[in-house]
Chain A
Amino acid sequence: MHDHALAEQSDALRLRSLDDLNRLRKQILDKRDPDQPEIVVCHGTGCLANGSADVSAAIRSALDASGIEAKVVPGIKTTGCQGFCSHGPLVVIRPRGIFYQKVKPKDAKEIIEKTIVQGDVVKRLLYKNPTDGEKILHEQDIPFYKRQTRVVLHNIGKIDPTDISDTIASGGYQALAKALTTMTPEQVVQEIETSGLRGRGGAGFPTGRKWRSALTAIEKKGRPVYVVVNGDEGDPGAFMDRTIMEGDPHAVLEGLILGAYALGANQGYLYVRAEYPLAIKHLTIAMEQARAYGLLGDNILNSGFSFDARINRGAGAFVCGESTALFTSIEGNPGNPRPKYVRSVEEGLWGRPTVLNNVETWANIPLIVNKGGDWYAKIGVPHSTGTKVFSLVGKVNNVGLVEVPMGVPLSTIVEDIGGGVPGGAPFKAVQTGGPSGGCIPYELKDTPVDFDSLTKAGSMMGSGAMIVMDNRDCVVDVGRYFLRFLEEESCGKCMPCRLGLSRMREILDNFSEGKGSEKDIEDLLSLSKAIQDSALCALGSSAPNPVLTTLKYFKDEYLAHVTRQKCPAGVCKNLITYSIDPELCTGCTSCAKQCPVGCIEGEKKKPHAIDTGLCIRCGICMDTCKFNAVNVI
Chain B
Amino acid sequence: MITFTINDQKVTAKKGWTVLETAREYGIEIPTLCHHPAVKPSGACRLCMVELKEKNWSKLVASCIYPVAEGINVYTETPRVHNVRRWILEMLLASCPASPEISALAQAHGVVSTRFKIHDPSQTCMICGLCQRICEEVVGLSAIAVVDRGVHKKVGSPFMRPTDVCVACGCCLTVCPTGAMKDIFDTVRGEPKMPLTQLAM
Contact = CB atoms under 8 A, between A and B. Distances in A.
Interface of A: 317, 319, 334, 339-341, 487-496, 498-500, 502-503, 506, 523, 526-527, 529-531, 533-536
Contacts of B65: 339-341
A400 B136 CA distance: 49
Contacts of A317: 149
Contacts of A534: 46, 49, 60, 62, 84, 88
9 contacts: A340-B65, A487-B151, A488-B151, A494-B45, A495-B92, A495-B128, A530-B87, A530-B88, A533-B84
Select the residue from A495, A499, A526, A531 with max chain B CB neighbours within 10 A. Answer: A495
A368 to B, nearest CB: 32
Given A339-B41, A341-B61, A499 B92 contact: yes
A503 B150 contact: no
B17 interface: no
Interface in B115-156: 115-117, 126-129, 148-153
B76 to A, nearest CB: 14
Interface in B27-85: 41-47, 49, 60-62, 65-67, 80, 83-84
B91 interface: yes
Given A499-B95, A533-B80, 10 more contacts: A341-B66, A492-B153, A494-B43, A495-B91, A495-B126, A496-B46, A499-B92, A500-B91, A506-B116, A529-B83
A262 B175 CA distance: 48
A423 to B, nearest CB: 37
Contact of B44 (A493, A529, A530): A493
A621 to B, nearest CB: 35
A527 B41 contact: no
A151 B32 CA distance: 51
Nearest to B64: A339
A498 B62 CA distance: 17
Nearest to A340: B65
A533 B83 contact: yes
Contacts of B45: 494-495
Contacts of B115: 523
Given A499-B91, A502-B151, A530 B42 contact: no
Nearest to B89: A495
Given A530-B88, A533-B80, A495 B46 contact: yes
A487 B152 CA distance: 9
Contact of A494 (B46, B87, B117): B46
B43 A339 contact: yes
A506 B114 CA distance: 14
A492 B116 contact: no
A496 B44 contact: no
A205 B65 CA distance: 24
The 3 closest A-B pairs by CB, nearest first: A339-B43, A492-B153, A530-B87
Nearest to A486: B150
Contact of A495 (B44, B60, B117): B44
B60 to A, nearest CB: 4
Select the residue from A490, A503, A526, A534 with max chain B CB neighbours within 10 A. Answer: A534
A133 B89 CA distance: 62
Contact of A498 (B43, B80, B150): B150
Contacts of B44: 339, 493-495, 536
A553 to B, nearest CB: 24
